[in-house]
């Protein structure tokens, strides 16, 4: 079955990354699901092995939506929530399962607030490896009701004459080396798991990944791993990784002082420090060159009324963690709504599916052109992106996260929103430019009680 090799990279169909199909807003023909991928698309073909990384994985949901993986020769699962995964072992008896909750692991430092939050599939076929990095927990409400995103590409076996390595390969291997410090350390034979593996060679996951050619990657990997990162690894992870990539491949000369940077995420922690770290990273200069024009950051965060009107009502707030004290700290002038009249049909169709997607994007002032965009599992927190220590000589990260950065230089084509007209589409699910909060708009908090009930008569999430 050669179908997996024929599956294109996400960018091959005109998209830099794609939405995940959301059943609550309609079928595949819904404008909001245009060019959307489903988990079935991710697993299409004849997989031989798979590595699954996620935060929450419900066993019965995994069995329903990831059924092709239940019969593969090797299935390795990393998760970060034992409560959600309590049925996973009985539903996926072929899986080797690792609970990566950081407070249960030994790092040499206290990490009680860390999280294994990455969301990815690595699926091996006879002649290729598929990498899919996305934003959905493997739970029913995330898959069916939320707005999510996914980046996916197939990579061939590394053959004679191929580059010895690539930036994408090195970053992916570094990420799995971090996991292997705590799980899946033992080398094992991959014989019979595809043409990449000959003989009875003993390999870890990280070593197995080096059998594939990632030099054609249409994005750059942006990972976070727990630890105090310094020296050669100072710019390997988190916000510093984004800074290094934008300095080299961010097309600074094309950026304008009228641009805006939209920070869109689904969990609102105390915003002050992480916003400062990210603003610095987003304006990183290339060595001996001027910085890109500094522009303001805006936060796209749903209002209470938008959550109330969503397909889940206030119940959607269960995936929008937002203590009132943190909501109150978000600068009012930075806040923008999730919806706006007069948007593209894609954005309009998405207005009732609340975001679990996380996007960090620089967009032209008129909302049409994308300068660069990060699709990631990382929310607005120092634990995810890193806290600067030792005068900038160390970056302290508590989470595992995975995402991708796309720029025109990386993709080899201009980038646009769904409201633009030229280039590969970055399908931001909110209007560009978004509508700033007006008088009377109330930012959603999952702790609050609201006067207006949702369709089920509820007045809040809790």
Residue whose pair of structure tokens reads 């390997």 in the numeric block: 236
| Long-range contacts of 274-278, Cβ-Cβ distance < 8 Å, separation of 24 or more | 274/380, 274/381, 274/382, 274/384, 274/385, 275/380, 277/239, 277/382, 277/385, 277/386, 277/387, 277/388, 278/239, 278/242, 278/360, 278/380, 278/385
- Mean pLDDT in residue range 424-445: 97
Contact between 387 and 380 (Cβ < 8 Å) = no
Phi, psi (degrees; rounded to nearest 5) at 104? -90, -5
State the pLDDT at residue 55.
98
Distance, C-alpha 452 to centroid of its chain: 33
Quick check: 312 pLDDT over 50?
yes
Closest CA to 51 of 198, 140, 179, 147: 179
Closest CA to 65 of 2, 21, 19: 21
pTM equals 0.96
Quick check: 4 pLDDT over 50?
no
Q: In whole numbers, what is the pLDDT of the chain averaged over residues?
A: 94
53/399 Cα distance (integer angstroms): 13
State the pLDDT at residue 5.
38
- Mean pLDDT in residue range 46-73: 98
State the pLDDT at residue 288.
67
Quick check: 287 pLDDT over 90?
no
| Residue 132 in tokens | 């899919």
Q: How many CB atoms lie within 10 A of CB 439?
A: 4
Question: Which residues on adjacent β-strands are paired with residue 264?
Answer: 300, 359
Judge residue 438's burial from the number of C-beta atoms within 10 Å of its C-beta, 0-12 exposed, 13-18 middle, 19 or more buried: exposed
Residue whose pair of structure tokens reads 């309009």 in the numeric block: 348
357/37 Cα distance (integer angstroms): 14
- Mean pLDDT in residue range 124-147: 98
Contact between 403 and 375 (Cβ < 8 Å) = yes
Contact between 120 and 53 (Cβ < 8 Å) = yes
State the pLDDT at residue 9.
55
Confidence of residue 3 (pLDDT cuts 50, 70, 90): very low
Quick check: 392 pLDDT over 50?
yes
- Mean pLDDT in residue range 152-160: 97
**Alpha carbon separation from 256 to 263, 335, 410, 422 (Å, rounded):** 18, 21, 19, 18
For 5-116, where are the E strands, in sequence order? 18-19, 49-53, 74-79, 95-99
Using one digit for the tens of pLDDT, what is the confidence trace for 27-55? Answer: 999 999 999 999 999 999 999 999 999 99
Quick check: 7 pLDDT over 50?
no
Using one digit for the tens of pLDDT, what is the confidence trace for 164-217? Answer: 999 999 999 999 999 999 987 788 999 999 999 988 899 999 999 999 999 999
Buried b (16+ CB within 10 A) or exposed e, 384-400: bbbbbeeeeebbbbbbb
Helix axes 238-249, 272-282, angle to 10 degrees: 20
Confidence of residue 284 (pLDDT cuts 50, 70, 90): confident
- Mean pLDDT in residue range 267-293: 91
Quick check: 121 pLDDT over 50?
yes
19/44 Cα distance (integer angstroms): 17
Using one digit for the tens of pLDDT, what is the confidence trace for 240-260? Answer: 999 999 999 999 989 999 999
Q: pLDDT above 90 covers what percent of the chain?
A: 90
Of 111 and 290, the structure prediction assigns the larger pLDDT to 111
Where do the H-state alpha helices sit in 202-332? 205-209, 238-249, 272-282, 304-308, 324-329
DSSP 303: B
Q: How many CB atoms lie within 10 A of CB 286?
A: 16
């Amino acid at each position: 079955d050669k179908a997996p090799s024929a599956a294109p990279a996400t960018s091959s169909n005109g998209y830099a990354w794609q939405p995940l199909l959301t059943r609550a807003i309609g079928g595949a023909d819904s404008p909001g699901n245009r060019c959307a991928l489903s988990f079935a698309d991710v697993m299409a073909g004849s997989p031989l092995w798979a590595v699954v990384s996620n935060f929450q994985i419900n066993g019965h949901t995994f069995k329903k939506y990831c059924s092709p993986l239940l019969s593969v020769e090797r299935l390795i699962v990393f998760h970060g929530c034992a409560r959600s995964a309590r049925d996973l072992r009985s539903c996926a008896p072929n899986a080797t399962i690792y609970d990566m909750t950081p407070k249960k692991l030994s790092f040499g430092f206290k990490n009680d607030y860390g999280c294994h939050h990455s969301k990815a599939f690595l699926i091996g076929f006879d002649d290729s490896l598929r990498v899919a990095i996305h934003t959905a927990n493997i739970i029913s409400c995330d898959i069916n009701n939320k707005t999510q995103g996914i980046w996916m590409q197939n990579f061939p076996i590394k053959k004679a004459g191929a580059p010895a390595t690539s930036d994408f390969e090195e970053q992916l291997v570094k990420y799995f080396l971090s996991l292997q410090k705590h799980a899946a350390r033992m080398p094992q034979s991959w014989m019979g798991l595809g043409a990449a593996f000959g003989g009875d060679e003993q390999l870890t996951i990280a070593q197995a990944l080096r059998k594939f050619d990632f030099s054609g990657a249409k994005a750059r990997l942006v990972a976070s791993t727990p630890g105090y990162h310094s020296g050669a690894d100072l710019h390997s992870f988190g916000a510093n990784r984004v800074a290094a990539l934008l300095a080299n491949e961010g097309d600074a000369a094309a950026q304008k002082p009228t641009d805006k940077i939209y920070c869109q995420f689904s969990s609102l922690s105390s915003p002050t420090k992480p916003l400062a770290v990210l603003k610095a990273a987003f304006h990183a200069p290339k060595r001996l060159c001027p910085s890109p024009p500094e522009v303001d950051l805006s936060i796209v965060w749903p209002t209470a009324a938008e959550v109330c009107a969503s397909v889940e009502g206030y119940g959607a707030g269960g995936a929008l963690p937002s203590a009132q004290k943190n909501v109150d700290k978000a600068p009012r002038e930075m806040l923008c709504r999730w919806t706006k009249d007069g948007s593209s049909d894609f954005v309009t169709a998405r207005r009732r599916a609340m975001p679990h997607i996380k996007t960090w994007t620089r967009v032209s002032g008129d909302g049409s052109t994308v300068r660069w965009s990060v699709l990631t599992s990382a929310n607005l927190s120092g634990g995810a992106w890193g806290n600067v220590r030792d005068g900038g000589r160390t970056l302290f990260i508590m989470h595992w996260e995975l995402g991708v950065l796309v720029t025109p230089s990386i993709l080899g084509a201009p980038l646009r929103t769904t409201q633009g007209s030229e280039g590969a589409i970055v399908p931001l699910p909110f209007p560009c430019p978004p509508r700033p909060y007006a008088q009377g708009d109330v930012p959603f908090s999952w702790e609050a009680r609201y006067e207006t009930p949702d369709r089920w008569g509820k007045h809040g999430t809790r």
